[in-house]
Every structure is written in structure tokens, then in C-alpha cells.
Structure 1
Amino acid sequence: MADTHTPGPLDGVRVIDLSTVVMGPYSAQILGDLGADVIKIESPADPLHIGEFRNTPGMTPLHLNVNRNKRSVALDLKDEAERAQALKLIHTADVLITNMRPRALARLGLTYDDLAAANPGLVYAHAAGFRGDSDRADAAAYDETVQAASGLVDIANRALGTPLYLPTILADKVSGLTIAYSVLAALVHRNRTGRGQQIEIPMADTLITFNLVEHLAGHTFDPATGPTGYPRSLSQHHKARRTKDGLAAVIPYTPQNYRDFFHAAGRPDLAADPRVNGPVLNIADADDLSDLVDQCAPALTTAEWTEVCTKHSIPMGPVLELDHSHEDPYVREGHLLETVVHPTEGPVRTIGIPVKFSATPGSIRRLAPVPGQDTAEVLAELSAVR
């Protein structure tokens, strides 16, 4: 685990995490990893913490992976006295992150206008499935519904012939990253002007713009010069290759890459093919050439291809098998997984911090808390605030 004495670049920033599931907690954890004091307000009325897929007495992997570097305070926002404590706590904060629905926030007196009156410097990040000014504002949003609404399911259907959901909670995690960078931008503005602001982060809008970077394609122009969709990503050949003993991402990119690849595979006849001996590759040949690469890849092991591709500057990477990720040299050397002892869960693997700061590195100072474990500590600090 990282040096517990490292303050991090956000040292001195207080974040209130009033969110559930993944998107909001993930963004708050990122800010905590960078040194912020993150206080998570949790409802004591939800003993199973179903909102974050938790069970008692143990913690789920997902909870452990999005709630470190936080202190947990149990407050019932429906109780007048406890809501008053929550409001007092929020008034000490620089940032509030929430994914509560607007009507619930209004009922509890937790809208931006309610809070900014007493804390004008507050950066108020409200995450939702859809824009508040749209007819979908109150629609339930889950990762799958957002993948569908953002065009991601259509992309999968066009590429694979099946309307699959991507097998990762992409909408939640990309939106969490978007919350984090938006909060940082708002903090820069506040430091310059002294004023906070409200930020709305709709998941659907975030994923639509994310997907269209390359897939808007010919519709980038008006009138369109071609169809939507990035051909390389949509190709049936856009997949890792089977080597003699496993899988690898072997991606010849230039004519010379193809010639070197075919020679290494023992196919000088293909290295002499006119399609890989011109000044550039013809996009019309892409699928056929990719099929030939698939046929040749089993000639060598993954380790042998690694040596060949490194020697000839052919883009290549072995496929990381998640079951063995903790043994992977790259993962180990980057401290991307480390075993630590959790106070209640025992030995657990904690995910590392991917960004490296030369002067103010982030750190893992606290592992995911037991719900409400820091209530007394935080409220004692709050009682000292005049």
C-alpha cells in the first residue's frame, strides 16, 4: 500500500459522497485517492446496503473497490435532527457528489440552491441517467439502459450481429471519471473566483459523446460523406489472435509490419504478396489481410511473437488473463494490485492508483469502511465547528 503520509494533490479538500452503487462512489474514491477527505453519508435504514450490492456481515468486492479512502457516517436524512447534522457537515465541504433524484433532493432541502445559500463555494456534482431538462429526466437508469441509449448496443450489434451489452459497467465508470474531472475543473474556477457551481453529469449524454468520437465517422460532415461507424472497430476481425499457446493482440499496421510478420510465421510467399508491398495498405484489403494474420498467428507461441514483434516494431500485446492478473509482471511492477489486511475482511487485494504524480502522489490511506464506522469521529469534529 502507498505511503500513508503522502498528502496528495487534493489535500485539504473535503468531499461529501451522497451517492450509491458505482458511478458516484467511484468518482469520490478517485478524489480520495488524490488526497481529499471524503466523507460518505449512508442511510442506517438500509442495513443490507442493497444500493451498493452489500451484505452483512461481509463486504462485497464491488464495495471494497469503490469505497476506500473514505470515512463513513450513518445519518437518516428523513430524521429532522440527523438531517440537520448532514446539512451542517455539507456546509463544511468543498464538494458534494450525489445521484439522488431531483424530487428527493428537493424534499430533503438538498438542492444546489438550498445549499449554496449557506456555502456559496460549494461544487455540487449531480449525476443522473438523463438530462434534467429532458423528457427522460425521471427515467430509471442502469448501466445497460445507458449502453442502449448511447448507441453502444447498436455498435455491438453491427460488429457482432448480436445486441450485446459490453461486459463491463462502462457507463458507470466513464461517468465516474467524468464527474471527477468536472469537479476538478470547478475547483479551479472556485479558486480563481471564490464561487462554486452546480454540475450536471448525465450518463446518457456522457456515453453518447464518448461513443461518437470515432463512430460519428462520415456523419461528421453535413451532408454526410459516408455512414456512421468506425470500420476498423466494426470489423469481424477486430479481435485478439490465437497463438500456439494462448491469445495476443498482434496488429501489423504498415506494409513492412506485414512482411516481417509473414516471414516470422514461415510464410515468405505471403510476405511477397503485392498487397503488402506497396507504399501504403489499401483499406479494401484489410479484412483479407487480417484473416491471413489469424491463420499465421498459431505458428509461434505468445512469448515468441512478443520477441518477434518487439524486434520489428509490430504493435503487439499479450492478453491479460484476469485470473492471473496478480501474477503479471507489469501489474506487479506498477503496484496495480497489492494484498493488504482489511480490519474486518482480512487479507484482500486492493487496486492500485494508475496515475503517478512526481511531487504529490496519491495514496491509499483507508480501506473501505464498515457502514457508519466513522460517525462518532466525524460528528465530534463537526461539534467543534462554530
Structure 2
Amino acid sequence: MSFEPLKGVRVLDLTSVVVGPVCTWRLGQYGAEIVKVESPEGDLMRGLGGMSPTGQHSGAYLHFNRGKRNICLDLKKEGARLVIERLIASADVIVANMRPQALERLGLDAKTVRARHPDKIYCLITGYGTDGPYAGLPTYDSVVQGVTGMAGLMLARDGAPAYVPMLICDHVAGEIAAGAILAALVQRKTTGEGCSVEVPMFETMAAFVLQEHLAQQSFDPPVGPPGDLRLLSPHNKPVKTADGWIAFTINTDPQVRAFLEATGRQQFIDDPRFATVAARARYVAEWFEVRGAALTTKTTAEWLDILRTADIAAQPCHTLESLPHDPHLEAVGLIGLEQHSTEGTIKSIRSSIRFEDDYLPRRPPAQPRGADTCDLLREIGYSEAEIEMFASAGAVHTEAAK
């Protein structure tokens, strides 16, 4: 069974790097047609996301831009402005993550677009929103991790701030934006009206941090310091084994007793500091020192067998090298191989979402810059002579076409 609830919906993708492409990739997973508009210089992620055989498609670019049609336009040229207006008219949804000032200069901001096309859904993913003192400032994922206090959580736990070594804010904000667009599409189906959607990364990720860590400061007056003290414990890390590291979590009273029994720490079973959830919350520092102690008497495999027998949530702490070879991921076929038109054999990551016993289909690989320029221009009504005129003027680029 093919699950494509967004089939027939065209999304004009004016985004680059990670947060926007993640958003539109998700919509494409649900069957939307994604038309990615790329500049002659190309999406920065083509090179920023790592090395590639040809230098055209980094691994990250390939994964974030699967299933998208690609048109290359120089929006500084008048001809490209005409083309983009027709593309907007043909689309249901427009997604942008350029700075608001740049969009306004190009006439591609929400206010301008929706004045001409009130039925369109326009989603702007910004660094800081458009109505606060940070509006319009440049930003990247690491900067958002800093300003939202995410890096500061590492300071509280480890004594020094640190970034999560992946673009976690971009991924989260991109997925949030995709969900907001889906909600807007549902509303439009009911009312027939479009709307403007804005997803600011700073506020979105700050809310995530505060929902988790405002904690005792959630009350007025506060009943204690901010922060979930379990998560901020310096012992809240993977635990060393004889040959690697293991990750586990124990929350309930039966799980704690089973863990203490399985790891030979029976002397703590009747310790009143650790006997209940409330007691462990009160003595959180002492409890995490006990549960975070090394387990170097046995190998990771041996501890996994013991902990799983005790029905404790535990898994190996993978590395980037070992994760693709996890037996579960191999069994469910998360990673596959396919041929790319310029890069040769590449690895593809299928959707993790399953509908009616089927995973969403793998979309075609990300394509070279301008691969679909001519086809898309024909679809929106331009003749071969007009396409040649635009190409000669540098308004569109087709030299990378398939």
C-alpha cells in the first residue's frame, strides 16, 4: 500500500543547509512534490557536509535532499524573478529559511507573496523570529545551542560548555516546521484559506530546554534551583565496561532493585536513600554516583545479557563506525545501496516511519544543481525559445541537468 497523503501538493523549497531541507524532506516523505530552488553557487551543504567523489554532493546533502526536483535560478536576474513568480503560483506551500531582510529585497517575503496569493501557505524558518531584538541576526545551529542554554547544560554537568556534535537544533526546528505546515494544510482544506507560518529556532529550542529544565523554578516562588538534577549529574553518562561502554536507564523502584541485584550492589537495596523514587530525587547526587560507577568486571555483551534478563533498558554505546552495523538496524534494512547519476554507488537511509505495515518508500537520490530546470520551466508554460533566452541571460542554469 502506498501512503502518500500529500500527493498532489507542491512545495516550493527556498531553503538551504539543514533546517529548511530537513523540513521539506519530511514533507516529501509524505508524498509532496518538492521543488528545490538552488542558486548558481549551490547549496552550501553540497560541500559543507563532507567530502564526496565529485565534490557535488556531500553525504549530508544527499540525505537531506532526497526526492526533490532541482531548479537553478539566479534570483538577482530579472528573468529568474519571472520564473519564481510562476513557480509560486504553481505551488501550494512555500518554505524559506533566508534572513527576512534578504527575502524582502527579493520580494519573496510572506507579506509580499501572500498579498498576491492569499491561498498559499508560507512557512518562514528563522533564527530568532521577526518581532524581537534579535530579529534578522545571522545564526547557525551551534549559535542556537549556545544561546538556548543547551551548551550551558554541559557546563552545569561537566564544568565546561560544549555543543552536541550534530545539528540537533536544525533537525528539531525543521521537523517542527513540517508539522506546522501539515496543520496549515489541514486548515486550508477546511477553510480554503492560506496562512503564514513562522518557526523561530531560538524560541523553539529555548522552549525545549525550559520545559525540561525550568523544573523547580516553574513555581512562584521557586521551590529550588533550575535543572533536572538527574540529567545534570556528572555521573549521568554511559558507563565503562571491560571492553567498551554501555547505556542504561533505571527509573522505577523494581528496576532499581533489579539493577542493584544484577550488578552485585546488594548493600544498597535496603538503603533508605535509594528505596523510592522520592528518596532518589532527594539524594540524586549520591544515587547517580552509585548507578554511574564503572562495570569493568564484565564485557558489554555480558552486561547486556544480564541487564536484559533483569528487564532493564540497556544497549551498547555505539560509535559512528559501529552504529551502521547494529544487528537491529541491519535486520530492518535502515541503510541500503543504490546508484547515483554522478556519485556512483551511495548509501541511502530509508524512512523510519511505518504506515499499514509498510515503511514509506525511498525517494530518488538528490540531484545535481539544475537537474530539473528545463522540465520545470516547460511545466510552468515556458517555450524552448524562452528557456534558451533565460539560460543565455544567466537567469537559469541548466548545464548540470541530467
Specify if TM > 0.5.
yes
CA-to-aligned-CA distance 1:177-231 (integer Å, 9 cap, x gap): 1111111111111111011111111110111111111101112112222211111
Distance in 2 between the 1:74 and 1:279 partners? 58
Partner secondary structure for residue 204 of structure 2: helix
What is aligned with 1:20?
A: 16
Q: Which runs of 5+ in 2 are unaligned?
A: 384-402
Instruction: Indicate which of 234, 243, 265 corresponds to 1:245.
Output: 243
Q: Which runs of 5+ in 1 are unaligned?
A: none
Q: Which amino acid aligns with 2:381?
A: S
- The root-mean-square deviation of aligned C-alpha atoms, in Å, is 2.3
Give matches, 1:15-164, under 5 Å: 15-44=11-40, 46=41, 49-50=43-44, 52-53=46-47, 57-164=55-162
| Change beyond 3 A, Cα 1:264–1:223 | closer
Distance in 2 between the 1:9 and 1:344 partners? 31
Give matches, 1:372-383, under 5 Å: 372-383=370-381
Distance in 1 between the 2:174 and 2:211 partners? 19
| Change beyond 3 A, Cα 1:216–1:289 | closer
| Change beyond 3 A, Cα 1:246–1:76 | same
Distance in 1 between the 2:320 and 2:248 partners? 19
Q: Does the 8 Å contact 2:212/2:228 carry over to 1?
A: yes
**Paired residue total:** 379
What is aligned with 1:311?
A: 309
Partner secondary structure for residue 210 of structure 2: helix
Deviating more after overlay: 78-87 vs 366-375: 78-87
Q: Which amino acid aligns with 2:163?
A: Y
Partner secondary structure for residue 297 of structure 1: coil
| Change beyond 3 A, Cα 1:262–1:120 | same
The Cα shift of 1:300 comes to 2.6
CA-to-aligned-CA distance 1:288-336 (integer Å, 9 cap, x gap): 3333334462233222222222222222222222212221122123332
The Cα shift of 1:131 comes to 1.7
Q: Does the 8 Å contact 2:3/2:355 carry over to 1?
A: no
What is aligned with 1:326?
A: 324
Q: Does the 8 Å contact 1:19/1:98 carry over to 2?
A: yes
Q: Which amino acid aligns with 1:139?
A: L
Q: Does the 8 Å contact 2:94/2:121 carry over to 1?
A: yes
Q: Does the 8 Å contact 1:309/1:316 carry over to 2?
A: yes
CA-to-aligned-CA distance 1:227-281 (integer Å, 9 cap, x gap): 1111111001110111222211133334443333333334444445554556964
Q: Does the 8 Å contact 1:95/1:123 carry over to 2?
A: yes
Distance in 2 between the 1:302 and 1:122 partners? 54
Distance in 2 between the 1:76 and 1:267 partners? 67
Q: Which amino acid aligns with 2:11?
A: V
Q: Which amino acid aligns with 1:95?
A: V
Identity rate, percent? 35
Distance in 2 between the 1:279 and 1:166 partners? 29
Q: TM-score, normalised by structure 2?
A: 0.87
Distance in 2 between the 1:130 and 1:254 partners? 39
Partner secondary structure for residue 90 of structure 2: coil
Q: Does the 8 Å contact 1:38/1:69 carry over to 2?
A: yes
Q: TM-score, normalised by structure 1?
A: 0.91
Give matches, 1:228-307, under 5 Å: 228-271=226-269, 273=271, 275-276=273-274, 281-295=279-293, 297-307=295-305
The Cα shift of 1:52 comes to 4.8
Distance in 2 between the 1:295 and 1:158 partners? 20
Q: Does the 8 Å contact 1:72/1:373 carry over to 2?
A: yes
Partner secondary structure for residue 283 of structure 1: helix
What is aligned with 1:363?
A: 361
